[in-house]
Amino acid sequence: MAAIDMKNIVKKYGDGFPAVNDVSIDVQDGEFMILVGPSGCGKSTLLRMIVGLEDITTGDMMIGDKRVNDLAPRDRNLAMVFQNYALYPHLTVYENIAFPLRLAGAPESEIDQKVREASKTLELDEHLERKPGNLSGGQRQRVAMGRAIVRDADAFLFDEPLSNLDAKLRGQMRTEISRLQKRLGITTVYVTHDQTEAMTLGDRVAVMKRGVLQQLASPRELYENPGNLFVAGFIGSPPMNFLPAEVDGTSVKLPFGTVTISEEKAKRAQGKGLLIAGIRPEHFEDASVKDSPTAGSTFSARVDVVEWLGNEAYAYIPFEAPPEVQAQLTQLEKDLDGESMRTQLVISLDGASRIAEGDEAEIWVDARKIHLFDPSTGENLT
Ligand code: ATP
């Protein structure tokens, strides 16, 4: 195993805008690193540069303590697990796993020992004589990983391995990959455009936009302290609400009412004019079902639509945004690949809430969880 250290990596195709623009990411030995972002952000290009399928324009690609910029893919000792698993349909599970060892001319006894070891780890030992066509999607994924394991690769690289699967299988596979990666402790770089995959799998997540690294942090850190509007809008489902906000002392005037924030937060947002407040749906609640609304504020608002899901419900409250905020939200919508940043507040309510469509409801908001963004730069000021 090995660490992968990307230092100031730039990739230009022709004279165009860099597909990857000065990205530095240090993947620790044994770490599960996710590269995530909307289509065209450069995540696949970056992965392909790690493997050696794409030349690096400038920067250093280090695997362990070796600079690999000029090494051929086969000399990098990395194992790429492809989206379609790239299994040979006419070969058995055993022969599929053995394939890279045969290619390398390994002796039969070594092949047998390694295939049996790997298939045990992957719980495939009872399926060794089957062909890929008779395996479930999950089992096929494990065969693909088995092939990577027998090679004693320094790292696993995944490029959107689950994107062809239906939602249920995707969920199962996610758990499986996570479990295996932890058990094997293999350095892993995993590309996805799916923020749920990113949040559930990654030790750390690198969020990219148009070739530029936006934030590199643990899933919790990204969720709790997004560095800018883009990361805030990308991470979380339903997405964070963005509202126009005027800060005066520790008071923040929102379209529905005024909430109070800490002096510390207020200080960082002072004198910046009109800001964009970010509040996640789950940081609101029906005030009538909240036991003891501490550290928050309540306001009343007319609820437009309620979607009840059993254990929770979503309430929608429309609002107006002034042009400068609207312009930033429209841009954000484009950056997020069409993810809708509608001018309506989405609130997650406890399933016990009795708020109904058309109600003038009392809503509680957790003022500690409010983020304030600079509308011109998108930077999180709080
Ligand atoms: P997706 O999820 O759609 O695959 P991505 O985030 O993986 O997107 P890349 O495939 O890395 O993005 O592409 C990044 C940018 O580089 C895009 O603007 C893309 O059009 C461009 N690009 C990728 N490959 C080439 C190429 N061979 N020649 C020219 N431009 C390319």
Residue 179 pLDDT: 85
Both tokens of 160, joined, read 């959107």
Ligand 1 pocket, 41 CB below 6 A?
A: yes
For 283, half-sphere exposure in the C-beta direction (CA atoms, 13 angstrom radius) is 21
pLDDT at residue 375 greater than cutoff 90: no
pLDDT at residue 119 greater than cutoff 80: yes
Name the percent of the chain lying above pLDDT 90.
Answer: 59
Q: Among candidates 214, 213, 212, 216, which has minimal Cα distance to 202?
A: 216
Domain of 187 in residue numbering reads as 4-230
- CA–centroid distance, residue 45 to ligand 1 (Å): 6
- In the structure, what pLDDT confidence band is assigned to residue 115 with cuts at 50, 70 and 90? very high
Same domain, 225 and 246: no
Same domain, 197 and 245: no
Q: What is the CATH number of the domain that holds 23?
A: 3.40.50.300
Atom of ligand 1 nearest to the CA of 45: 11
Give a yes or no: residue 126 inside a domain. yes
Evaluate whether 259 touches 277 at the Cβ level (below 8 Å).
Answer: no
Residue 61 pLDDT: 98
Q: Residue of the nearest CA to atom 10 in ligand 1?
A: 44
Q: Residue of the nearest CA to atom 2 in ligand 1?
A: 39
- In the structure, what pLDDT confidence band is assigned to residue 342 with cuts at 50, 70 and 90? low
pLDDT at residue 251 greater than cutoff 80: yes
- CA–centroid distance, residue 344 to ligand 1 (Å): 33
Residue 339 pLDDT: 59
Name the percent of the chain lying above pLDDT 70.
Answer: 97
Q: Among candidates 258, 276, 253, which has minimal Cα distance to 372?
A: 276
- CA–centroid distance, residue 42 to ligand 1 (Å): 6
User: What mean pLDDT comes out for the span 68-85?
Assistant: 85
**Site to substitute for ligand 1 among 35, 44, 214, most atoms within 8 A of C-beta:** 44
- CA–centroid distance, residue 255 to ligand 1 (Å): 40
Q: Which residue has the higher pLDDT, 84 or 223?
A: 223
Full-model pTM: 0.90
Question: Which parts of the chain fold into alpha helices (H)?
Answer: 43-51, 93-103, 108-121, 137-150, 167-184, 195-201, 219-224, 229-234, 263-269, 323-335
Length of the chain: 382
Q: How far apart are the first and last CA of the chain?
A: 39
Q: What is the mean pLDDT of the chain?
A: 90
User: What mean pLDDT comes out for the span 133-158?
Assistant: 86
**Site to substitute for ligand 1 among 10, 11, 13, most atoms within 8 A of C-beta:** 13
Give a yes or no: residue 344 inside a domain. yes
Lowest mean pLDDT among 66-80, 252-266, 324-338, 355-369: 324-338
Q: Which residue has the higher pLDDT, 109 or 298?
A: 109
User: What mean pLDDT comes out for the span 53-60?
Assistant: 96
- CA–centroid distance, residue 64 to ligand 1 (Å): 27
Same domain, 194 and 50: yes
Residue 14 pLDDT: 86
Evaluated on CA atoms 340, 344, 348, 349, the torsion sign reads: negative
pLDDT at residue 82 greater than cutoff 80: no
Q: Which residue has the higher pLDDT, 180 or 347?
A: 347
Same domain, 197 and 251: no
Residue 1 pLDDT: 73
Give a yes or no: residue 294 inside a domain. yes
Same domain, 169 and 21: yes
pLDDT at residue 4 greater than cutoff 60: yes
Give tens-digit pLDDT for 152-183: 889 999 988 887 777 877 887 788 888 888 88
Give a yes or no: residue 380 inside a domain. no
Q: Residue of the nearest CA to atom 1 in ligand 1?
A: 39
Same domain, 67 and 209: yes
Residue 155 pLDDT: 93
Q: Sort 89 into a burial class: Cβ within 10 Å, 0-12 / 13-18 / 19+.
A: exposed
Residue 83 pLDDT: 64
Residue 160 pLDDT: 87
Give tens-digit pLDDT for 274-303: 899 999 999 999 998 877 656 678 888 999
Helix (H) or strand (E) holding 242: strand 241-248
Residue 289 pLDDT: 85
Same domain, 60 and 121: yes
The total number of structural domains in the chain stands at 2
